[in-house]
Amino acid sequence: MSQICEITGKKPMSGHNVSHAHNKTKRKFRVNLFKKRFYLPSEDRWIVLKVSKDGLRLIDKVGIEEALKRAKEKGYLTRKI
């Protein structure tokens, strides 16, 4: 299962754990994802999206319809909704 937000396009980043002696080991910075149901009033149905915390904030600000439109334009939402 891919760890990508369907609204903002956020993906895991890679970096290092750095010890006190500055030894570096690889690590991943994962995205804070949630599987969430949203109601689309225009289509009178529910959809399930994997969204990050920032994606939820964007949906709260602009609404689900506008957020889906922006995600489709930028290519983050690849599957048919």
Cβ-contact 40, 47 below 8 angstroms? yes
What's this model's pTM, rounded to 2 decimal places?
0.84
Domain ranges of the chain: 13-74
Query: pLDDT tens digits for 8-29?
Result: 999 999 999 999 999 999 999 9
How does pLDDT run across 46-61, given as a tens digit for each residue?
A: 999 999 999 999 999 9
Class (C level, CATH) for 13-74: mainly beta
Query: By the 8 A CB rule, do 5 and 51 touch?
Result: yes
| Closest among 39, 57, 51 to 77, alpha carbons compared | 51
Give whole-number Cα distances, 61 to 55, 67, 76, in Å. 10, 9, 18
